[in-house]
Amino acid sequence: MWIDRIIEHDPGKRLVAIKNTSLAEDHLHDHLPATADKPAMPLMPASLIVEGMAQTAGIMVGAVNNFREKVILAKISKAEFAADILPGMTLRYTATMDRIDEAGAVTRGIVEARTNDPGLGGDVWQSIGRINLMFSHVDQNMAGLEFPEENFVFGENFKAVWGASGLVC
């Protein structure tokens, strides 16, 4: 899971989740490791930031039908970033629903990072990216094909995050 907690949910309209980055996460160390002439600069890869938004928006889409359908990411229509995410930062993913129907959904997302920048007024949320995604309802769009009942997005880890956020499946 690339989100730690769901903090807001307005069913069918909006879902907000957070992710805390930590040096305990191995993937941070693989990006810009130390070289002979430069110190290490661990950071969260943009692809994992996109995945965090995909999980946030995918949960919002799946919740519309009470997670009865398999929701998969079909397209990343926009992914723009203005800053790197370093260990110790907290990300806030805000996903909003543009459209949903039996075939799938279109979402918009804003990624913010909590920063303690005195020039910005101290401890504030700063927008660092925009990610727009399209999702497909697999059962509707690939009818007749066999899919396993397990759904990796809505599995046990998801249920733990969902439940810890005070939401009921």
- Name 164's Cβ contacts closer than 8 Å, sequence gap at least 6: 5
d(CA 61, CA 146): 22
Q: Helices in 74-169 by DSSP H: which ranges? A: 138-141, 156-164
Catalytic residue among 9, 27, 29, 31: 31
Nearest to 127 by CA among 139, 115, 116: 115
Contact 108, 130 (CB under 8 A): yes
Respond yes or no: is residue 9 known to be catalytic.
no
Residues recognised as catalytic = 31
